[in-house]
Structure 1
Amino acid sequence: MSVTEVPAPVTTPAPRPVHRLARWPVGTVAALVAAAHLAVAWRPGWFFDEALMLAIGRDHLDWGSADQPPVAPLLAALMDLVAPGNVLVLRLPAIAATAATVVLAALVARELGGDRRAQTLTAIAQGTGLWLAIGGHWTTPYTLEPVLWLALGWLLVRWWRVRDDRLLLAVGVVVGVGAQTKFQILLLAAVLLLSVLVLGPRTVLRRRHLWIGAAAALVIAAPTLVWQALNGWPQLRMGSVVASEAEFLYGGLSGVMLGMIAAAGVMGVPLVLYGLGRLVRDPALAELRYLALTAVVLYAFFSVTLGRPYYLAGLYGLLAAVGAVGLQRRREAGRRRLRWVAWPAAAVSAAAALAMMPLSTAMAAPEVGDAVAGATVAAYDALPAGQRARTAVMAESYIYAAYLDVAAPEDALPPALSSNRSYGYFPPPADDVDAVLYLGSTADELRPWFADVRPVGRAGDDATLWLATGRLAPWESFWPRLRHLDVQ
């Protein structure tokens, strides 16, 4: 009589135990972060990228624009519908997203086995990051991006703990929404997949839910990707533009490299670095080593390509959580030399973050927008009534154009034009518009297309107002030639 062997059923490992969420301390940190941003967010004045989001959302909302997907402009437009011109209401989505990163970072620590103290330290490190201290209340894509990266990281770590494949479907949704917010999450997803292929756990690549989630991500992201394709992929050309600005803005390669580290904050930097080390060395985290490789690859890529110092902001909380839980493991093993360091470091980190916040108000001072808008309105009003009806208002850079659109009194000016960045992809004026009131350092881009270009006023120390008359060709024939992505 033969015995037929029955294969053992495939079972999913039992989830690792976790501590309860430290609701009160983590919630308190998140509330304090939100309160600090609210305290500075009410001040009048838009940061220029906020002004751009509002201008796009209010007047030119589409599935995409030259360098921005539609989520941030859509949120700006919705907030402006609720409270037109109210800068505090405009910034509420950004403040909510920044506070949410605190909770998500703590949730990552919890999934890793972090206790109340580890969760709280992670929340403080995330909440006192220097980049988010500056821009955590601006409704811009790069302020909304960290919460999406952290949500992705939390889903991946939770999947590692509980092996619930439904989480992989959620990963796809987050990537899709992230792509509609800022395109870098597609790079993050690609590097994550390659890192898993190199280091494992390769079993995740055989999960059907992962690829269904990937398909969902593509479906969600498709509208803005189609917009890019139909308009020649301007986003791909932004890399060289960003790199060309690095020397002036950050001091070149060294500034970008140091900035990407320092942006994590006084407490975040050591926790992030310690977390990276733990991912590499700790056998218990072997299946998460791909996260360390992902962080290192992205850091190298953004350094070599001279990206922005805030490009890694969405990874700080994840790595800090690993570091905070590592300190917990040391404490549990009886190594307590650092037990008196954490809380003073938290206080110093919070003080440093608070000290950075006034910088955001200086960068969003209303004087610049008010000055250029006021001078342009005055010059426009000085034109004869018949000529005003045939005159467009145009700016040399998207910054000036956005300020004209959001800072000028309602109906004081026609919608602003610019050949720069997103504005260059908006439709040109109708052909009955044969003159341009131009704001910029020089109006050379208009001289081949207008019979006369002459200065008519000043708008601050750096900008001149020019009047271009006698259009020599139809708008449609030369407008595409004017488009450019670099800020003059």
Structure 2
Amino acid sequence: MAATAAVALLLTINRYDYHRDELYFRMLGDRPSWGYVDQPPFTPLLIRLCAEVFGDSAWAIRLPGVLFLPAAVFLLALIAREAGGGAVAQTLAGTGALTTFALVSTHLTLTTGPDLLVWLGVVLCVMRASLRELPRYWLAAGLVTGLALYNKHLVILLLLTFAAGLLVAGPRKVLLSPWLWAGAGIALVVGLPNLLYQIANGFPQLDMAAALAENKGDEARITLIPLQLAWLGPFFVPVWVAGIVTLLRNPALRPIRALGVAYPLMLVLLFVIAGQPYYTVGLLSALFAIGAVPVARRVTRRWILVAGAAVNVGFAILMSLPVLPVGVVGGTPIPAINQGISDQVGWRRYVRQVADVYEALPAQDKPHTVLLTGNYGEAGALDRYGRALGLPDVYSGQNELHRFGPPPESATVVVLVTQGDPSRSPAFVSCEFKANLDNGYGVENEEQTARVFVCRGLRGTWADLWPGFQHFD
């Protein structure tokens, strides 16, 4: 199963183009830091490392996923084994890594890939500490948690809801274990530099969370429950439901039944704070692995398991990976369903279209021209491909890129890429429309609504105007 996962990623690793987040992380990695306003440093620095070692290309920075996905297969199988599952249950559990969310998160180098491994690792440690009565595994859980904070802070959501599950369903005595609190201390010490960065910078992650809640909060609440049925695929829903049921009913799993309670508590919490629906996937995958144990025992006709898993996995691969030719995929519903696919299409063409606008400028304007984009994907694409075309430096006000600083005061001409209306901006005297971006493949993504303008005449200095360009999203 792990080999199948690795081969699936290798066969598609270099199709299409970078994802917008990969382009953004590539820019962040060029400026190493203990943290950024919208995330910890691990994934941007991982991309920087891969680019330095293997070359600055999409396939090079995606190599870690070829290890992450098989690792998820093994972690899911180990979770099933801890729950009492044999070979069939462990194999079924491993297919949980060949599902939509896991495939997207490891085909692309995103923060969600390592985060999935972290959640599964913490759950495995909790199971071994509780079911085997080996309290030293609380220390391992703390170490994994502390390291995880350098990639994403979502593991705290798992710990909070698990602790609440212990209070609700027990066994409450676990909360008094010195081993558990020692593990919490390890997590705090290991993750302390990340916490200090947040304190020193005014907790920017809270600003980012507030922006997400404002921009996508209503959508997140509406899609929270429906997407739970989609993350692992419809054929696998009965399996993770069986995982919750067996945690609550099986006396042998009583020490970890708080995991079954943690999931509905997590849904309630995400609805209240308008958290993103995918935040549950790590726990959902673990519940799937646990549910594989009773399913493997009760479904005696193995062909049913094989057929159901094959259909689910085949559909997930088609929807998640760039299997179809880029000229064909735009005529299917896949880009509309999976934004991860649509956000890999068209970057070179977009950059070429911006370059055409720049090249048409009068020669005397070019030394005083900069590029300015509305989002980090456009900025990342121009940074990656623009230098070979002779384009000037690129700036953006989104997220961490705003902290990279304003353009120099000598920049009096701006080639602006935006989805908005620059005439409403107080920054420029005039903006002349030059082009609509078009990827040429019929794939709808954010850039298909973007336009290119040439703006002149600043209404002040860049230092004064730059705070107005800042936005979190």
Range of TM-score over shorter length: 0.7 to 0.9
Q: Would the aligned equivalents of 1:104 and 1:150 in 2 still touch at CA under 8 Å?
A: yes
Picking from 5, 21, 26, the partner of 1:54 is: 26
Match of 2:3 in 1: 31
Of 450, 471, 474, the match for 2:458: 471
Partners of 2:176 and 2:2 in 1: how far apart?
37
For the residue of structure 2 that corresponds to 1:437, the secondary structure is: strand
Partner of 2:417: 439
Question: C-alpha distance in 2, partners of 1:435/1:224?
Answer: 39
**Does the C-alpha gap of structure 1 residues 305 and 147 become closer, same or farther in structure 2, counting only changes over 3 Å?**
same
1:136 counterpart letter in structure 2: T
Larger mean Cα displacement after TM superposition, 281-290 or 312-321: 312-321
1:300 matched residue in structure 2: 268
By how many angstroms is 1:36 displaced?
0.8
Q: 72, 80, 90: which is aligned to 1:109?
A: 80
Q: What secondary structure, in the 3-state scheme, does the structure 2 residue paired with 1:219 have?
A: helix
User: Would you say how many aligned residue pairs link Structure 1 and Structure 2?
Assistant: 449
Greater Rg by CA:
1
**What is the deviation of 1:241?**
3.9
Q: Distance in 2 between matches of 1:254 and 1:359?
A: 28
1-structure distance, mates of 2:174, 2:106: 34
Q: Distance in 1 between matches of 2:147 and 2:390?
A: 36
Other-structure match for 2:241: 273
Pick one of 181, 188, 191 that aligns with 2:161: 191
Q: Do the aligned residues in 1 keep the contact of 2:220 with 2:277 (CA within 8 Å)?
A: no
The structural deviation recorded for 1:47 is 1.4
Matched with 1:325 is 293
CA distance in 1, matches of 2:404, 2:421: 20
- CA RMSD, Structure 1 to Structure 2 (Å): 2.7
Q: Structure 1 residue 277: deviation in Å? A: 0.6
Report the TM-score when normalising by structure 1.
0.83
List runs of 5+ in structure 2 lacking aligned partners. 330-340, 439-447
Q: In the alignment, what sits opposite 1:9?
A: none
Q: Are residue 83 (structure 1) and residue 54 (structure 2) matched?
A: yes
**One of 254, 264, 279 as aligned partner of 2:232:** 264
What letter matches 1:35 in structure 2?
V
Alpha carbons of 1:260 and 1:434: their partners in 2 closer, same or farther (altered >3 Å)?
same
What are the superposed Cα offsets for residues 252-300 of structure 1, whole Å, 9 maximum, x if unpaired? 6443311122211244321110000111111221111111111111122
Q: Could you tell me which residue of structure 1 aligns to residue 133 of structure 2?
A: 163
Q: Greater shift after overlay, 175-184 or 216-225? A: 216-225
- More moved, 189-198 vs 179-188: 189-198
Change (3 A) 1:170 1:348: same
8 Å Cα contact 1:150/1:318 also seen in 2: yes
Residues 1:140 and 2:118 are matched in the alignment: no
Q: Give, in whole Å, the separation in 1 of the partners of 2:391 and 2:136.
A: 51
C-alpha change, 1:355 and 1:475, in structure 2 (3 Å) is same
Structure 1: which amino acid aligns with 2:172? R
Distance 1:175 1:415, change over 3 A: farther
Structure 2 partner of 1:391:
369
In the aligned structure 2, how far is the partner of 1:184 from the partner of 1:336?
35
Instruction: Note if 1:356 corresponds to 2:319.
Output: yes
Q: Relative to structure 1, is the Cα distance of residues 291 and 156 closer, same or farther in structure 2, using a 3 angstrom cutoff?
A: same
Alpha-carbon distance in 2 for matches of 1:392, 1:482 = 15
Q: 2:171 aligns with which of 201, 204, 209?
A: 201
* CA 470–70 in structure 1, closer or farther in 2 if over 3 Å, else same: same
Say whether the 8 Å CA contact 2:20–2:344 is kept in structure 1.
Answer: no
Name the SS for the 1:484 alignment partner.
Answer: coil
Deviations 1:178-216 (CA, angstroms, capped at 9, x unpaired)? 221112112222222232233333333333333233233
8 Å contact from structure 1 (residues 44, 87) kept in 2: no
Query: Which amino acid in 2 is paired with 1:354?
Result: I
Stretch deviating more after TM superposition (237-246 or 286-295): 237-246
The answer for unaligned runs of 5 or more in structure 1 is 1-28
Q: Assess if the C-alpha contact under 8 Å between 1:445 and 1:482 holds in 2.
A: no
Aligned mates of 1:185, 1:192 — CA distance in 2? 11
Pairing partner for 1:369 from 347, 350, 354: 347
Farther-moved stretch of structure 1 (373-382 vs 99-108): 373-382
Which residue number corresponds to residue 255 of structure 1?
223
CA distance in 1, matches of 2:424, 2:69: 42
Q: How far, CA to CA, are the matches of 1:483 and 1:445 in structure 2?
A: 18
Return the TM-score normalized by structure 2: 0.86
In structure 1, distance between residues paired with 2:423 and 2:41: 29
Three-state SS of the structure 2 residue aligned to 1:262 is coil
SS of the counterpart of 1:312? helix
